[in-house]
């Protein structure tokens, strides 16, 4: 009985889920000519052939129904110095991109300047999973800056992994 109560406690779940360190991704695209995006720590790589990645998006997201209408989605992996972008893209400001430098690809995906890495993607599959959707994305283009470290999200806080890849 105690175990069931604990598992159903969202605060406790968040705390324990937060034991797993993750990166922070910005999923973004141009919609009606304006950049639209959200921060997502649920990014994960899925498949090499075909190249697939995924994010989990809460059913409560008000941005996702708009964002998913874009033909291509940019997924930027935030770098150690992009904590501000991580907060901004999760925040309530009307223009989340006001102080976040970005560029758009020819296909309308939005990627952040200075990101650790970026992918240009299309939505391949939505899998309903509890109060989130697992969104599987197919990668069409990508690049990374191997000499800068990523932003890390751990225990509900941002951390910097300053070091780039070891050579």
Ligand X SMILES: Cc1cc2nc3c(=O)[nH]c(=O)nc-3n(C[C@H](O)[C@H](O)[C@H](O)COP(=O)(O)O)c2cc1C
Contact 53, 117 (CB under 8 A): no
Report in angstroms how near the CB of residue 23 gets to ligand X at its nearest.
Answer: 9
* Site for ligand X contains 73 (CB under 6 A): no
* Site for ligand X contains 61 (CB under 6 A): yes
Q: Which residue lies nearer to ligand X by CB, 42 or 72?
A: 42
Of 1-9, 54-62, 101-109, 121-129, which part binds ligand X (CB under 6 A)?
Answer: 54-62
Residue 82 makes CB contacts below 8 A (sequence gap 6+) with 24, 112, 114, 115, 151
* Site for ligand X contains 54 (CB under 6 A): no
Considering only 29, 30, 40, 112, the residue that binds ligand X (CB under 6 A) is 40
Considering only 28, 39, 100, 135, the residue that binds ligand X (CB under 6 A) is 39
* Site for ligand X contains 2 (CB under 6 A): no
* Site for ligand X contains 29 (CB under 6 A): no
Report in angstroms how near the CB of residue 16 gets to ligand X at its nearest.
Answer: 16
Considering only 44, 63, 104, 105, the residue that binds ligand X (CB under 6 A) is 63
* Site for ligand X contains 44 (CB under 6 A): no
CA dist list (Å): 29 to 24, 55, 136, 143, 159: 17, 15, 16, 17, 26
User: Which phi and psi angles does 91 have, rounded to 5°?
Assistant: -90, -175
Residue 26 makes CB contacts below 8 A (sequence gap 6+) with 37, 38, 39, 40, 74, 75, 76, 78, 85, 86, 89, 112, 115
Q: Give the interface size with ligand X as a residue count (CB under 6 A).
A: 17
Contact 136, 125 (CB under 8 A): yes
* Site for ligand X contains 117 (CB under 6 A): no
Place of tokens 């599959």: 125
Contact residues toward ligand X (CB under 6 A) are 24, 38-42, 55-58, 61-64, 86, 90, 153
């Amino acid at each position: 009985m105690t175990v069931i109560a604990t598992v159903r406690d969202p605060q406790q779940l968040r705390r324990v889920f937060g034991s797993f360190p993750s990166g922070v991704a910005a999923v973004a695209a141009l919609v009606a000519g304006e950049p639209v995006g959200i921060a997502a720590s649920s990014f994960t790589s899925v498949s090499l052939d075909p190249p697939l990645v995924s994010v989990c998006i809460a059913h409560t997201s008000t941005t996702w129904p708009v964002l998913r209408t874009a033909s291509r989605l940019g997924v930027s992996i935030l770098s150690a110095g992009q904590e501000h972008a991580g907060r901004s893209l999760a925040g309530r400001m009307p223009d989340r991109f006001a102080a976040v430098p970005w560029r758009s690809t020819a296909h309308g995906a939005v990627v952040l300047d200075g990101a650790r890495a970026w992918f240009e993607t299309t939505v391949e599959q939505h899998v309903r999973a509890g109060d989130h959707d697992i969104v599987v994305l197919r990668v069409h283009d990508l690049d990374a800056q191997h000499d800068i470290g990523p932003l890390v999200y751990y225990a509900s806080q941002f951390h910097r992994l300053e070091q780039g890849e070891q050579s």
